[in-house]
Amino acid sequence: MRWHLALLIVLALVGPVMAADEPKPVIAVEDKTIEASVVIDPALKAYPALYERLLSGGKRQFDKARGEAASEFKSTPDLFSDGRKFFYKRTDRLRSAIGPYISIVRSDDTYEGGAHPNHVVDTLLWDTQAARFINIKPFFKEMADGGPTLQRLAHLIRTALAVEKKARDIEVADPDKDQLLSGVKPKITDIGGIALAPSTEAGRSSGFIVYFSPYAVGAYAEGEYVVFIPYAAFQSTLSAAGLALFGGTRPRDDDKFDER
């Protein structure tokens, strides 16, 4: 049946976080309307203020998913015939801990009876000294939306995506004019989910790892994209804080963290 196929696709999408050694969910439920869970990397317990924020945010989304499933079950019970149910899973993974900065990769995987499941990936950057979430603006001398720094970063990211697409046998004639890559804009909110990449130099970052959900920069069938931008490509635009943060090269096999 089609819903069996859709559930198999969900499981394929969340492959790495379904591994046998995956941490147990911090919140989980399975009832007649939904299978839902929240998983938080146990390594993030080392940062109590951050962990509490992730837990409270995860619980809000968990409760929202359960509420929506219960509402649909009441209004459209046919959606749940033959044992069908909704699916929701949030996973927060530690990507890097560099100086005071903690990079987290977040994925939200859902299925609500449509044509296919949804997989949304994003990143969070936590400043342990300020005890709050931040963005990458402090690392640059200038960071206005549409300004030269974000124009440069957008171009670098589009170019890296074009290389990754070519590796998947998808040709891109001009990364800066490609319609599907136009989703990468020179805006802090539209440039992709950015994490700090580890480095061969302790306490430094080798650059940015940038995450895109399916649909963000390509057809759904292309899946998720993850690209790396070495700091040398934007070094001249860095602020004093950025110059102190970046250095070295990306460790060998670091990209295996993001394999799906």
Q: How far apart are CA 162 and CA 212, in angstroms?
A: 13
CATH number of 137-258: 3.90.640
Return the pLDDT at 1: 37
Q: pTM of the predicted model, to two decimals?
A: 0.91
Gyration radius of the chain over CA positions = 20
Q: Give the CA distances from residue 202 to residues 27, 97, 246, in Å, rounded to whole numbers and listed in that order.
A: 35, 10, 10
pLDDT tens string for the chain (260 positions)?
344 444 444 444 444 334 447 899 999 999 999 999 999 999 999 999 999 999 999 999 999 999 999 999 999 999 898 889 999 999 999 999 999 999 999 999 999 877 778 999 999 999 999 999 999 999 999 999 999 999 999 999 999 999 999 999 999 999 999 999 999 999 999 999 999 999 999 999 999 999 999 999 999 999 999 999 999 999 999 999 999 999 999 999 999 998 86
Q: Concatenate the DSSP letters of all residues of 74-137 into one string.
A: HH-GGGGGGG--EEEEEEEEEEEEETTEEEEEEEEEEE-SSSS-EEEEEEEEEETTTTEEE-SG
Is residue 41 within 8 Å of 72, Cβ to Cβ?
no
* Domain residue ranges of the chain, discontinuous segments joined by +: 2-134, 137-258
Return the pLDDT at 226: 98
Return the pLDDT at 122: 97
| Sheet architecture: strand order including 207-212 | 193-197, 207-212, 225-230
Is residue 119 within 8 Å of 13, Cβ to Cβ?
yes
Return the pLDDT at 260: 60
Comparing CA positions, the residue from 204, 192, 201 lying closest to residue 97 is: 204
Common-topology check for domains 2-134 and 137-258: no
Return the pLDDT at 116: 78
Return the pLDDT at 157: 98
Is residue 96 within 8 Å of 190, Cβ to Cβ?
no
Is residue 101 within 8 Å of 126, Cβ to Cβ?
yes
CATH number of 2-134: 3.30.565.40
